[in-house]
Structure 1
Amino acid sequence: MGAGRAGISRVGFLRLGTALGAAAALGACGGDGSGASSGEGGDAAPQGGGAGGEAIAAASEVPPGEAVRFREDGRPAFLIHLRNGDFVAYSAVCTHQQCTVAYRDGRLACPCHGSVFDPADGARVVAGPAPRPLQEIPIRLRDGRVYRA
């Protein structure tokens, strides 16, 4: 920089731009990674090998009306224990513009554009611009654990 010029250097400007871009990208991901007590669902620790038949969680770890997050093919998903006792699993990727939905008050809601899905009814769209339900993930219950089918 020349004498008498005040401001930020090129390197400083690039570092600031990179930091702001990273912060914006993380903010767009939605959710803060908190556990089930916040209503967003905690992360399950899958056990077993491969996607087929892999355990998602012990059924006792997910109280009725709660959910746990897990990953399906590298993408976020939710295992939900419905109040009627059934378990369901859905992709957490909104069908509108692929934002990550959150589980709150028995619904899956997209923070980006307000789409809301009903997990007790096939993740049917109940509000917002999403064009179709969330993708269902086949599961099965065996020996007190929930597995990918």
Structure 2
Amino acid sequence: MISRGRFIRLGAALGSGAAAGALLTACGGAGSSAGAQKGGSSTKKTIAKAANVPPGSAVKFTDAGQPAVLIHLKSGRFVAYSAVCTHMGCTVAYQKSSGDLVCPCHGSIYDPAHGAKVLRGPAPRPLPKIPVKIERGEIVEV
């Protein structure tokens, strides 16, 4: 038997994945199939074309099968984090108006410009960082 909390998290993850797929398809498929590229001896996952992610916006993607988010900060830097809240595992969302990542379940707020540190709990720790870099105009996981 599955617990109520696990059922809710599973539903949220599936819903987020479906929404992200629809969004990426509508936006021309930037990063939609992960566009794995060979870079020397390692394979790098393409998340999005840098030109398709304006400053102050975000793109959802998956990292090892888990929800993740790429953010183009207003400062011009690109950062990426796990989108799984460190409190109860709900999927956080980017709030364009504030530039923060917000958990819809219990109200935790993270600051992506400062290592996804917790601005307001109950989350106990920052979101895990996903290293990214720009290569040939594309944002790729390192």
TM-score (norm 1): 0.72
SS in 2 for 1:33: helix
Equivalence for 1:16: none
Equivalence for 2:71: 80
Alignment-mate amino acid for residue 123 of structure 1:
A
- Equivalent-residue separation in structure 2 for 1:131 and 1:49 (angstroms): 36
Q: Name stretches of at least 5 consecutive residues in structure 2 with no aligned partner.
A: 1-6
Equivalence for 2:122: 129
- Per-residue deviation, 1:126: 0.2
Deviations 1:69-97 (A, max 9, x none): 00000000001000000000000000001
Judge conservation of contact 1:44–1:69 (CA < 8 Å) in 2. Answer: no
1:61 to 34, 52, 69: 52
- Equivalent-residue separation in structure 2 for 1:133 and 1:99 (angstroms): 14
Within a 5 Å distance, the mapping from 1:4-83 to structure 2 comes to 26=11, 28-29=12-13, 33=19, 35=23, 44-45=31-32, 46-48=34-36, 52-83=43-74
Aligned length: 122
- Equivalent-residue separation in structure 1 for 2:8 and 2:92 (angstroms): 19
Alignment-mate amino acid for residue 35 of structure 2:
Q
- Equivalent-residue separation in structure 2 for 1:56 and 1:24 (angstroms): 24
Alignment-mate amino acid for residue 91 of structure 1:
S
SS in 2 for 1:96: coil
TM-score (norm 2): 0.75
- Per-residue deviation, 1:128: 1.8
Equivalence for 2:3: none
Runs of 4+ in 1 over 2 A off after TM superposition: 22-26, 28-32, 49-52
Deviations 1:1-41 (A, max 9, x none): xxxxxxxxxxxxxxxxxxxxx89953x447582649xxxxx
Q: Name stretches of at least 5 consecutive residues in structure 1 with no aligned partner.
A: 1-21, 37-41
Identity %: 49
1 or 2, which has the higher strand percentage? 2
Q: CA RMSD in A?
A: 2.6
